[in-house]
Amino acid sequence: MSAVPNTFENVKAFISSAHKSSTAREKVNFYNSWAENYDEHMVAVDFRAPSLAANSISSHFSGNREAVVVLDLACGTGMMAKQMKRHGFGHFVGIDGSEAMLELARQSGLYQDLKQSMLGEGPLPVQYGLFDVVLIVGALSVGQVSDDVVREMCKSAKPGGYICMTTRGNRDNVEYKAALELELKQMEEEGLWSCVDVTEVEDWERAVSEHEDGYISGAVYLYKKLQQ
């Protein structure tokens, strides 16, 4: 793939092929093959979610940023750590299903620990109640990570810690987004966390599905874990 020019049309075709992967192993293989070109492809699609999520967290976080620990789920090559570093955060633990993605995250030098794990398929491989910020950016979408992971995210955060999530608002993701928002509201009603901010963005990223053009919308959700 590296020999193919990273024009938007080529990137669009490549990303669209991901939807042909149905099993967990096929998805991991796809992301392993994508790792080398992932960052360049995200530039091509004007992937704004990492900067938007980091801005949301930064605007509400008032603690000592150098001292806190951030859990970055579906960390990929380390885009979120790079964005959070710009806002003064310094300690990161990353989890991703793709070893090739994790290797690039490792090379960034930003993470104190990296773990390979399939998200949404059981407990996270971390200590509960440990993290000041827990985030997942770009992976909460249909065909990717199940929204079951949000309860694990809440468990992983310290009381008073922040949990940040993003999802897309494109046509293919309408049902997933509705189900995710229902779960977030249910957890709020259960007294697990409180909603700090929801930011709906029209120009989220360039559309890559065959039946959509221009930009799709998306949303950033920021919650704060309540004292248990």
Look up the CATH number of the domain holding residue 140: 3.40.50.150
Residue 15 located in a structural domain: no
Residue 146 located in a structural domain: yes
pLDDT above 90: residue 56: yes
**Per-residue pLDDT band at 61 (split at 50, 70, 90):** very high
Which residues partner with 83 through β-bridges?
A: none
Which amino acid would we find at residue 71? L
Alpha-carbon Rg for the chain, nearest whole angstrom, is 17
Residue 18 located in a structural domain: no
Q: pLDDT tens across 104-153, in order?
A: 999 999 999 999 999 988 899 999 999 999 999 999 999 899 999 999 99
Cβ atoms of residues 184 and 150 within 8 Å: yes
Residue 42 located in a structural domain: no
Opening angle at CA 60, ends 59 and 65, nearest 5 = 85
Which residues partner with 139 through β-bridges?
A: none
Residue 30 located in a structural domain: no
pTM of the complete model beyond 0.85:
yes
Taking each helix axis from N to C end, the angle separating 49-60 and 79-86, rounded to the nearest 10 degrees, works out to 40
pLDDT above 70: residue 19: no
pLDDT (average), residues 3-13: 74
Which residues partner with 197 through β-bridges?
A: 222
Residue 82 located in a structural domain: yes
Closest CA to 79 of 52, 118, 117, 112: 52
Q: pLDDT tens across 192-216, in order?
A: 999 999 999 999 999 988 778 899 9
Say which residue the tokens 């189900």 belong to: 179
Q: How many residues in the chain?
A: 228
Q: For the chain, how many structural domains are there in total? A: 1
pLDDT at 1: 41
Residue 90 located in a structural domain: yes
Helix (H, G, I), strand (E, B), or coil: what is residue 138? Answer: coil
Q: How far apart (Å, rounded) are the C-alpha atoms in residues 44 and 11?
A: 7
Residue 197 located in a structural domain: yes
Output the CA–CA distances (angstroms, integers) from residue 128 to 71, 99, 145, in the order listed: 11, 23, 20
